[in-house]
Amino acid sequence: MAVPEHVAIIMDGNGRWATKRGLPRLAGHHKGASIVEGIVRHAADVGIKYLSLYAFSTENWKRLSDEVSGLMSLLERYIAEKLSALKANGVRLRFAGRKDRISLRLRAAMEAAEAETVDAGGLQLIVCIDYGGRQEIIDAVTALVADGVTDVTEESISKRMYLPDVPDPDLVIRTSGELRVSNFLLWESAYSEFYFTDTLWPDFDDAELDKAVESYSSRDRRKGGA
Contact status: 33 vs ligand FPP (CB under 6 A):
yes
CB of 74 to ligand FPP, least distance (A): 5
Select the residue whose beta carbon is closest to ligand FPP and give its number. Answer: 15
Contact status: 36 vs ligand FPP (CB under 6 A):
yes
Answer yes or no: 89 catalytic. Answer: no
Q: Considering CB under 6 A, how many residues would be counted as binding ligand FPP?
A: 20
**Burial (0-12, 13-18, 19+ Cβ within 10 Å), 222:** exposed
- Ordered DSSP codes for 17-70: HHHHTT--HHHHHHHHHHTHHHHHHHHHHHT--EEEEEEEETTGGGS-HHHHHH
Within 8 A by CB and 6+ apart from 42, the residues are: 206, 209
CB of 36 to ligand FPP, least distance (A): 5
Single residue of 44, 53, 93, 102 touching ligand FPP by CB under 6 A: 53
Q: Which residues are catalytic?
A: 12, 60
Binding region for ligand FPP (CB under 6 A): 11-16, 29, 32-33, 36, 53, 55, 60, 71, 74-75, 78, 127, 176, 201
